[in-house]
Amino acid sequence: MNKITDKFQELEKQLDINFKDKDLLVTAFVHRSFLNENKEFALDHNERLEFLGDAVLELVVTSYLFYNYPEDNEGTLTSWRAALVNSTILSQKADQLGFEDYLLLSKGEQKETGKSRQFILANTFESFIGAMYLDQGLGICKNFIENRLIKEELEAIIQEKRFLDSKSYFQEKAQEAEKITPVYKLIEEWGPDHDKHFKIGVYLEEQLIATGEGSSKQEAEQEAAKKGLEIKKWK
């Protein structure tokens, strides 16, 4: 355990954050699969911290948007928040911060890449926020989220209109160009109840246009629609 804690000192230095409770920091990086192979490990997995971190993240982002964009309505702010706090962005931030080097995973999970690893990184970002909130308080969390996430990503999201709902736009373009309403069908689902993943296809009549994956059916549908827009060149 001491070796693991010592390793995390490097992350603290990199982020310029000194955790009072080192176990909290380590727990944020413990995937459930790791405990299946290391039953003697003294700490729990990170899912409770992820639950807390998700709420803290949403509060900070919502407050920032509310106070900094007083002229924009609720629908616009909701779209911006959804584009900012999603698994793609959060996994990218976790990757940029070097979180992958600290993940505590089973040997099987260590071999997984792509979407599976993206979900783990996004969840770890949230659990790290939860741990930081408990250890450092809301003020430190607020500074971290604003500087490491919001200020680095929000402007590009707005300027590039990445907040647009891909599913709605795909339907609009499909009806306009081909007089067809898209249909979404579940192709595959996997994982335990607490960590479900879905693969969904978007069809125009019987033709499969694109597939998307996500931790919810809605997220997978949005991903499929986004890819469908690219494939059909409907910008």
Q: Residues of the chain with pLDDT > 70: what percent?
A: 99
Domain residue spans of the chain: 2-159, 166-232
**The architecture CATH gives domain 2-159:** Orthogonal Bundle (1.10)
Fold matches, 2-159 and 166-232 = no
pTM metric for this prediction? 0.74
Q: Residues of the chain with pLDDT > 90: what percent?
A: 74
pLDDT single digits (tens) 14-49: 999 999 999 999 999 999 999 999 988 999 999 999
Catalytic residue among 126, 135, 213, 219: 126
Residue 198 pLDDT greater than 80, yes or no: yes
Residue 1 pLDDT greater than 70, yes or no: no
Catalytic residue among 54, 135, 219, 223: 54
pLDDT single digits (tens) 205-223: 999 999 999 988 989 999 9
Could you confirm whether domain 166-232 is CATH 3.20.20.70?
no
- The answer to whether residue 50 is catalytic is no
- The answer to whether residue 126 is catalytic is yes
Write the secondary structure of the chain as one string of H (helix), E (strand) and C (coil). Answer: CHHHHHHHHHHHHHHCCCCCCHHHHHHCCECHHHHHHCCCCCCCCCHHHHHHHHHHHHHHHHHHHHHHCCCCCHHHHHHHHHHHCCHHHHHHHHHHCCHHHHCECCHHHHHCCCHHHHHHHHHHHHHHHHHHHHHHCHHHHHHHHHHHHHHHHHHHHHHCCCCCCHHHHHHHHHHHHHCCCCEEEEEEEECCHHHCEEEEEEEECCEEEEEEEECCHHHHHHHHHHHHHHHHCCC
Residue 112 pLDDT greater than 70, yes or no: yes
